[in-house]
């Protein structure tokens, strides 16, 4: 699942993941993300951190507040890449931190390894 308020970036990422044979669903805001995650329970959700109305940190906190959704791996996608930014993402409930600009290789590695290892690391 992908969540990003930048519709163009969302579209590009959907196309790339589709070409890699991943089943992808996407929404462009935090509230819709919570609803879709609650309904579909994806294995992994890549969530943009900086969104209006409800940012990615709040999305992560709300998802983590629901024990039924703990199986979803949450990946923070952000332009902020300092150690404190990673710490803030992990504290909010994200399992991984992927900073922009991301590479397709880094994304492939994250997707390949996220479902095979315990969560709560960062990239």
Model confidence band, residue 41 (pLDDT cutoffs 50, 70, 90): very high
Distance CA 32, CA 80 (A): 23
Query: CB of 107 within 8 A of CB of 100?
Result: no
Q: Could you tell me if residue 43 is inside a domain?
A: yes
Q: Could you tell me if residue 87 is inside a domain?
A: no
Q: Is the pLDDT of residue 104 over 90?
A: no
Give the pTM.
Answer: 0.87
Work out the mean pLDDT of the chain and round it to a whole number.
88
pLDDT at position 108 is 81
pLDDT at position 116 is 56
H/E element holding 76?
A: strand 73-78
Q: 24: domain CATH number?
A: 3.40.50.2300
Model confidence band, residue 115 (pLDDT cutoffs 50, 70, 90): low
Domain of 45, in residue numbers: 2-78+92-114
Model confidence band, residue 76 (pLDDT cutoffs 50, 70, 90): very high
Query: CB of 119 within 8 A of CB of 73?
Result: yes
In the chain, % helix, strand, coil (3-state, to 5) comes to 45, 15, 40
Distance CA 80, CA 90 (A): 13
Q: Could you tell me if residue 72 is inside a domain?
A: yes
Token reading at 53: 């109305």
Q: Is the pLDDT of residue 120 over 60?
A: no
Q: Could you tell me if residue 120 is inside a domain?
A: no
Distance CA 62, CA 93 (A): 9
């Amino acid at each position: 699942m992908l969540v990003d308020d930048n519709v163009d970036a969302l579209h590009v990422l959907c196309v790339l993941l589709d070409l890699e044979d991943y089943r992808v669903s996407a929404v462009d805001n935090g509230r819709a993300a919570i609803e879709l995650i609650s309904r579909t329970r994806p294995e992994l959700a890549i969530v943009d951190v900086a969104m209006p109305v409800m940012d990615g940190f709040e999305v992560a906190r709300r998802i983590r507040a629901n024990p039924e959704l703990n199986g979803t791996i949450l990946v923070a996608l952000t332009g902020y890449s300092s150690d404190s930014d990673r710490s803030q993402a992990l504290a909010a409930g994200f399992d991984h931190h992927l900073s922009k600009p991301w590479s397709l290789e880094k994304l492939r590695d994250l997707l390949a390894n996220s479902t095979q290892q315990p969560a709560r690391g960062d990239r």
